[in-house]
Amino acid sequence: MTEQTLFEKVGGEQAIEKVVDYFYSELVLKDPTVNHFFEHTDMEKQRRHQTKFISFALGGPNQYTGTSMSKAHKGMNLQPEHFNAIAKHLHDALAHFGVSEEDIDQALTKVNTLRDDILYQ
């Protein structure tokens, strides 16, 4: 028997879509620390990209065809407090949908590997 991926544990892409919607609408876009980064963003496109990216990051199929993390964040000059706010919002969105702390920690560990590609670009 093979071990379930985090992607499977959280309920697949449909569940991740719900997490992403909550992540943006209830957390990120209401946070003045980071919401200004999304002022001129097509949020439907952003949600689709983020769903595919998070799905892949959690061990799902690689459907992410977006720009590399460093290119996507180029010119934004994101600082550690911005990265930390987004990571906290992801934690809270996953927790809101009942994902265990152990699984959230595993997901955030993967996200943290992208830190150098996102900060100070």
Closest CA to 84 of 43, 29, 34: 34
Residue 119: phi and psi, rounded to 5, are -75, 145
- Binding-site entries for heme: 49, 73
The letter for the amino acid at 37 is: F
- Residues placed in the known binding site: 49, 73
Rounded Cα–Cα distance for residues 61 and 40 (Å): 29
- Report how far apart the first and last C-alpha atoms of the chain are (Å, whole number): 43
Rounded Cα–Cα distance for residues 57 and 67 (Å): 15
